[in-house]
Amino acid sequence: MKSQISINMLKNTVYFYRYSLMRNSPLMGIKNRCYAQTGDTKISSDSELDLMRSRLIYQSRKRGILENCIIFTSFADKYLKTFNCEELQKYDALINSKFDEWDLYAWSIGSKPAPQEFDNDILKLLKNHVQKRS
């Protein structure tokens, strides 16, 4: 009984510290925002743009399936440095959409048509990148 109470207290303590630290993080709002509507947001400085670029490079490397890790990492390394704010927001909306990793994979290799909201110049560039690598 005593050990069960200790385990529950430990879980609650870890939960409290983990989420209280996240609430104070400048990136906390990222988890809860709607990525498909990122075109409305304004990036005001180069440092915010660099932060966004760094986050997208990290998210490109840490995908749910290996195929997407390879595709999106090589794409991000090649193109994200040259993307402007609007292009970064389109890429952000694409890789952080509500769709799963297999949908992203199918769109990037061209085996499945993408929804209209993602059928843009970034996805075309991604498809072209995949075709050149194969």
Query: Are the C-beta atoms of residues 67 and 60 closer than 8 Å to each other?
Result: no
Q: State the pLDDT confidence band at 37, using cuts at 50, 70 and 90.
A: very low
Pairwise CA distance, residues 118 & 97, whole Å: 9
Structure tokens, 80: 């994200």
Task: Give dist(CA 134, CA 132) in Å, integer.
Answer: 6
Q: How many Cβ atoms sit within 10 Å of the Cβ of residue 125?
A: 17
Collapse the DSSP code of 18 into the 3-class scheme (helix H, G, I; strand E, B; otherwise coil) and give the result: helix
Q: Decide which of 47 and 106 is more confident.
A: 106
100 contacts: CB under 8 Å, gap ≥ 6: 64
Estimate to the nearest angstrom the gap between the alpha carbon of 39 and the chain centroid. 15
**Domain extents in the chain:** 45-132
Instruction: Classify domain 45-132 by CATH number.
Output: 1.10.150.250
Lowest mean pLDDT among 7-11, 18-22, 59-63: 18-22
pLDDT at 91 over 60: yes
The pTM assigned to this predicted structure is 0.66
Question: Which carries the bigger pLDDT value, residue 32 or residue 71?
Answer: 71
Residue 6 confidence (pLDDT) above 90: no
Return the residue matching tokens 């704010």.
Answer: 85
Helix 66-79 / helix 46-61 crossing angle, nearest 10 deg = 150
What secondary structure, in 3-state letters, does 30-80 show?
HHHCCHHHHHHCCCCCHHHHHHHHHHHHHHHHCCCCHHHHHHHHHHHHHHH
Query: Confidence class of residue 106 from pLDDT cuts 50, 70 and 90?
Result: very high
